Amino acid sequence: MSATLPRSFLGLPAPAKINLFLHVVGRRPDGYHELQSVFVPIDLCDTIDVCAAEGGRIERLGELTGPVERDLAVRAAQLLQQRAQAGGWRPGARITVEKAIPVGAGLGGGSSDAATTLIALNRLWGLDLPRSELAALGLQLGADVPFFLGPGPAFVEGIGEQATPLPLPPAWVVLVFPQVAVSTAEIFADPKLTRSTKKTTIAGFSAALSALDRAPDPGPDVRSRAWGFGANDLEPVVRGRVAPVDAALRLLGQHAPARMSGSGSAVFAVFAQEAEAQQVAARLRMQAPPGWSVWSVAMLGELPLAPW
């Protein structure tokens, strides 16, 4: 069987995502929080190589950000390997991850790595599982993983696993990472976190975006109302606990309405024109404290591996 399969897939992208808003609308009896958000992939990507390995070995090369047994790409490969074993075959793989997405930044880098690994090994091993089955496996790794197995931007509900595709107009993002990691678990456990935001709808979000379509040359006020829909309910908690996140929001906020992504620590602002985003990013690189990272990247209308 293995002789007829490819031996490797190289240079596969695993993109980051931002949360245009993030509402905590309740808490389930099992302790998980009910969320509403819009996830948007952006053109900041980790890069993954997968190669066939003999003897059913799962090997992890490249930068590790923690113990190998907790690495989401490794755990994704192990889950898919177990699925293959149910059919009587134990395939192996060598996985190399080149990191570009910072860890603990609220950008979903680990979840994206897991999703790209599932997609790649599904092909490498010739399993041909549908995306829905890969998403069910991915959900065992984290609530964000199914999003990265979908087509692109999405209105997300539940604990993050319910994603409805949501077309968005082209836009660019200036992203600031203040070189500090934030623990998602600690933020969700904080007693100051608001957990009762009123639920919204796709229609409500889309109505705010429609202002961009009605205005031939939308000014900053129109853009702010559209892309600034809702809030990130985690942001006040993180700002009070993590001073660099508060500083990053203040710095970026001097140029455009700024918001934190996920549980932080990265913050972003949305721009209609690439040139404007690049100009703001250039200014921020001169203004930001040493070591901070600033990117100007496109919002992606489709996840890179969606056509696979």
Cβ atoms of 21 and 230 closer than 8 Å: yes
144 is catalytic: yes
- 34 contacts 25 by C-beta, under 8 angstroms: yes
Q: 64 and 71 in contact (C-beta within 8 Å)?
A: yes
Spatial CA neighbour of 77 closest among 46, 119, 39, 44:
119
Catalytic entry in 46, 71, 113, 144: 144
Helix boundaries (H) for the chain:
72-85, 109-124, 131-139, 145-148, 184-189, 202-214, 220-227, 235-241, 243-253, 274-287
Residue 299, SS3? strand
Catalytic residue, candidates 17, 71, 233, 246 = 17
- Extract the runs of DSSP E, i.e. beta strands, from 28-102: 33-53, 58-62, 92-98
- The catalytic site residues sit at 17, 144
